[in-house]
Amino acid sequence: MIQKENSYGTFDQEINAFFKDVHHFASLINTCLYQGQEIVKPENLMLVDPKI
């Protein structure tokens, strides 16, 4: 049986691209932390350099 190595680089790139959309990120935070209440608003978020 041939085992394929997992490539997390591609996965990380896809997740980063998905969460660059402030609506996606706000939805995740609101769902996980605030039981779906709209506490974090997309218009109040800004994109920052992930290397910081």
pLDDT digits (tens, 9 = 90+) for 7-29: 667 888 898 889 899 999 999 99
Between CA 2 and CA 43 the distance in angstroms is: 48
In contact, 22 and 41? CB cutoff 8 Å: no
Q: What is the pLDDT of residue 44?
A: 97
Residue 1 has pLDDT above 60, yes or no: no
Instruction: Give residue 46's pLDDT band: very low, low, confident or very high (50, 70, 90).
Output: very high
- Running DSSP on this structure, what letter comes out for residue 51? T
Q: What is the mean pLDDT of residues 30-51?
A: 93
Between CA 26 and CA 39 the distance in angstroms is: 9
